[in-house]
Amino acid sequence: MTQYAIVTDLNRCVGCLACSVACKAANNVPIGNYWNKVLRIGAFPEEGGSGQFPDVYTYFLPIGCQHCVDPECIKVCPTEASHKREDGTVQIDKSKCIGCQFCVMACPYNVRYLNEEERVVEKCTLCEQKTAQGELPQCVSQCGGMARYFGDLDQGLASFEGAENGTERIKLGDFAAAWTDSEVYKLPDVGNQPSFAYILRGHKWQG
């Protein structure tokens, strides 16, 4: 079984928004909408510090469709427009979407929206048009901080790949600083089992 996902090394993310810009350009995302948003989390006081600058920390948290293992959006779709592929990704068949937005309301991460012009719901496809050709999602290939990596959860996070200089691929396990299982986080699970993972070392997770 395959479950494609993205893992983000939050200790390397600098909040440059290159992933958001690259995503909008590659997928023609309408103005005012986003398939990938980057939130600034913090600032929070460092443990044992004064609570004042510079004894504070912040991190950046990219959020998009989590391509959940058991997605709520699919359960409420009356036309089966929202569906899960064999690669584990959650996709939308626009020819079946009636714009009812039940899926928008069911998503716990607020990452779906109605395309007002086409009257269909849209969201991150994990760059299906690219991954089907063996390429990386655009947000991964354009991450200048080497924070984002793409792969199959069933193969383990260390096998996930990023793109050095946008071309040569490197594996997370070979490039990133070591991490423990306790330093791997996911967005809140309400039974949907989000697949995307986040690595955060040395700080308290506030996602």
Residue the block writes with tokens 């997370």: 172
Tell me the percentage of the chain whose pLDDT exceeds 70: 99
C-alpha to C-alpha distance for 122 and 84, rounded to whole angstroms: 15
More confident residue, 207 or 13: 13
DSSP state of 91: E
**The pLDDT of residue 166 is above 80:** no
C-alpha to C-alpha distance for 2 and 68, rounded to whole angstroms: 12
**The pLDDT of residue 3 is above 80:** yes
Which domains, ranges and CATH numbers included, belong to the chain?
Answer: 4-199 (3.30.70.20)
DSSP state of 134: T
Amino acid (1-letter code) at residue 113: Y
103-107: average pLDDT: 98
**The pLDDT of residue 167 is above 90:** no
160-179: average pLDDT: 92
Contact 122, 81 (CB under 8 A): no
- 33-89 pLDDT, tens digit per residue, is 999 999 999 888 887 777 777 888 999 999 999 999 999 999 999 999 999 999 999
- Per-chain mean pLDDT for the chain: 94
CA nearest to 124, candidates 64, 82, 198:
64
**Per-residue model confidence (pLDDT) at position 53:** 78
**Per-residue model confidence (pLDDT) at position 66:** 98
